Amino acid sequence: MALMITDECINCGACEPECPNTAIYEPGVAWKFSDGTTLSGDLDFGEAGVINADDELEALNDEVYFIAPSKCTECIGFHEEPQCAAVCPVDCCVPDPEYPESEEDLATKQAWMHVS
Please pick, from the candidates 70, 84, 101, 109, the single residue that binds ligand SF4 as defined by CB under 6 A: 84
Fill in the per-residue mask, 85 to 114: x = in contact with ligand SF4 (CB under 6 A), - = not in contact. Answer: --xxxx-xx---------------------
37 binds ligand SF4 (CB under 6 A): no
Residue 11 contacts residue 90 (beta carbons within 8 Å):
no
Please pick, from the candidates 32, 70, 82, 113, the single residue that binds ligand SF4 as defined by CB under 6 A: 82
DSSP string across 36-99: TS---SEEE-GGG-EEETT--BPPS-SSS-EE-TTT--TTTTT-SS-HHHHH-TT--EEE-TTS
Binding to ligand SF4, residues 55-74 (CB under 6 A) = 65, 67, 72-74
How many residues bind to ligand SF4 according to rule CB under 6 A?
30
Question: Nearer to ligand SF4 by C-beta: 39 or 93?
Answer: 93
User: CB-based contacts of 106: which residues, under 8 Å, 6+ apart?
Assistant: 73, 74, 76, 77
Closest CA to 33 of 59, 62, 64, 57: 57
Using CB under 6 A, list all residues that contact ligand SF4: 3, 5, 9-15, 18-21, 23-24, 65, 67, 72-75, 82-84, 87-90, 92-93
